[in-house]
Structure 1
Amino acid sequence: MLRTLGTIARRGSGVHVVRRSAYSTQAEEKDDPNFFDMVGDYFEHGARLVEDKLVDNLYNQIDEKGPASKGTSVDQSHRRVQGIFQMMRPCNHVLQVTFPLRKDNGEYEIITGYRAQHSQHRVPTKGGMRYAPDVSEDEVKALASLMTWKCAVVDVPFGGAKAGVKIDPRKYTERELEKITRRFTMELAKKGFLGPGIDVPAPDMNTGPREMSWMADTYAMTHGYGDLNAHACVTGKPITQGGIHGRVSATGRGLFHGIENFINEATFMSAIGTTPGFQDKTFILQGCGNVGLHSMRYLHRHGARCIGIQEYDGSIYNEQGIDPRELEEYKVQNGTIVGFPGASPYEGGNLIEEECDILLPCAKEKVITANNAHNIKARIIGEGANGPVTPEADKILLKMNKLIVPDLYLNAGGVTVSYFEWLKNLNHVSYGRLSFKYERDANYDLLDSVQTSLERKFGKYGGKIPITPSEGFAKKISGASEKDIVHSGLQYTMERSARQIMTTAQRYDLGLDLRTAAYVNAIEKVFKVYSEAGLTFS
Structure 2
Amino acid sequence: MLTLAVAPDMVSCRRSLNTQPHVPCCHAPVRCRLTGRGGGKEEPLRYHFVLPPLHFLVSPRTLKLPPAHSSPRDGKLPETHKMYRYLGELLTRGASNVLASGCSAAADSALPASASLLRYRGYSQAVDRDDDPNFFTMVEGFFDKGAAIVEDKLVEDLKTRESPEQKRKRVLGILRIIKPCNHVLSVSFPIKRDSGEWEVIEGYRAQHSQHRTPCKGGIRYSTDVTVDEVKALASLMTYKCAVVDVPFGGAKAGVKINPKKYSDNELEKITRRFTIELAKKGFIGPGIDVPAPDMSTGEREMSWIADTFATTMGHYDINASACVTGKPISQGGIHGRISATGRGVFHGIENFINEAAYMSQLGMCPGFQDKTFVIQIIAEGANGPTTPEADRVFLERNIMVIPDMYLNAGGVTVSYFEWLKNLNHVSYGRLTFKYERDSNYHLLMSVQESLERKFGKHGGAIPVVPTSEFQARIAGASEKDIVHSGLAFTMERSARQIMRTANKYNLGLDLRTAAYVNAIEKVFKVYSEAGLIFT
Q: Report the TM range for the smaller structure's normalisation.
A: 0.7 to 0.9
Task: Specify the alignment match of 1:508 in structure 2.
Answer: 505
Distance 1:57 1:8 in 2: 23
Distance in 2 separating the partners of 1:500 and 1:191: 37
Check if 1:455 corresponds to 2:452.
yes
CA contact (8 A) 1:124 1:198 kept: yes
Does 1:167 pair with 2:267? no
Q: What pairs up with 1:295-374 in 2 under 5 angstroms? A: 356-357=373-374
**Larger Rg over CA atoms:** 2
Aligned 8 A contact 1:8 1:401 in 2: no
Corresponding residue number in structure 2 for 1:145: 235
Q: Does 1:389 align with 2:489?
A: no
**Aligned partner of 1:464 among 457, 461, 468:** 461
The answer as to whether partners of 1:7 and 1:512 remain within 8 angstroms in 2 is no
Residue 262 of structure 1 is matched in structure 2 by: 352
The corresponding residue for 2:487 is 490
2:430 is aligned, of 433, 448, 473, to 433
**CA shift for structure 1 position 163:** 0.3
* Contact persistence 1:7–1:398 (CA under 8 A): no
Alignment of 1:3 onto 2:93: no
| Counterpart AA for 1:480 | A
Cα distance in 2 for partners of 1:179, 1:123 equals 28
CA shift at 1:269, angstroms? 1.0
Instruction: Output aligned runs, 1:61-210, within 5 Å.
Output: 61-63=159-161, 73-210=163-300
Match of 1:362 in 2: none
Contact 1:8 1:512 in 2 (8 A): no
Count residues with an aligned counterpart. 430
2:151 is aligned with 1:51:
yes
CA distance in 2, matches of 1:280, 1:241: 44
Work out whether residues 7 and 401 of structure 1, in 8 Å CA contact, stay in contact via their aligned partners in 2: no
Residue matched to 1:35: 135
Contiguous gaps of at least 5 residues in structure 1: 10-14, 64-71, 283-355, 358-377
- Where does residue 304 of structure 1 map in the other structure? none
Distance 1:493 1:183, change over 3 A: same
* 1:37-58 C-alpha deviation (Å, 9 max, x unpaired): 0000000010011000111111
Match of 2:308 in 1: 218
Contact 1:127 1:163 (C-alpha < 8 Å) held by counterparts: yes
Tell me if the contact between 1:126 and 1:161 (Cα under 8 Å) persists in the aligned partners. yes
| CA distance in structure 2 between the partners assigned to 1:534 and 1:262 by the alignment | 36
Aligned 8 A contact 2:237 2:250 in 1: yes
User: Is the CA contact (8 Å cut-off) linking 1:6 and 1:399 kept in structure 2?
Assistant: no
Deviation at 1:471, TM superposition (A): 3.6
Cα deviation for residue 75 of structure 1 reads: 1.1
Report the secondary structure of 1:433's partner residue. Answer: coil
Report Cα offsets for 1:408-452 as digits up to 9, x if no partner.
000000000000000000000000000000011101101110111
Deviation of residue 98 (structure 1)?
0.3
Identify unmatched segments of 5+ residues in structure 2: 1-21, 31-49, 56-111, 116-123
Task: Report if the CA contact (8 A) 1:6-1:398 is conserved.
Answer: no
**Displacement, 1:477?**
1.6
C-alpha separation between the residues in 1 aligned to 2:26 and 2:257?
40
Q: Normalized against structure 2, the TM-score is what? A: 0.78
* SS in structure 1 at match of 2:160: helix
Give the letter aligned to residue 384 of structure 2.
G
Q: CA RMSD in A?
A: 1.7
Distance 1:4 1:81 in 2: 23
Q: Which moved more, 1:467-476 or 1:184-193?
A: 467-476
CA contact (8 A) 2:220 2:253 kept: yes
State the percentage of identical aligned residues.
70
Deviation at 1:16, TM superposition (A): 8.7
Give the structure, 1 or 2, with the largest relative contact order (CA under 8 Å, sep 6 or more): 1
CA distance in 2, matches of 1:223, 1:120: 21
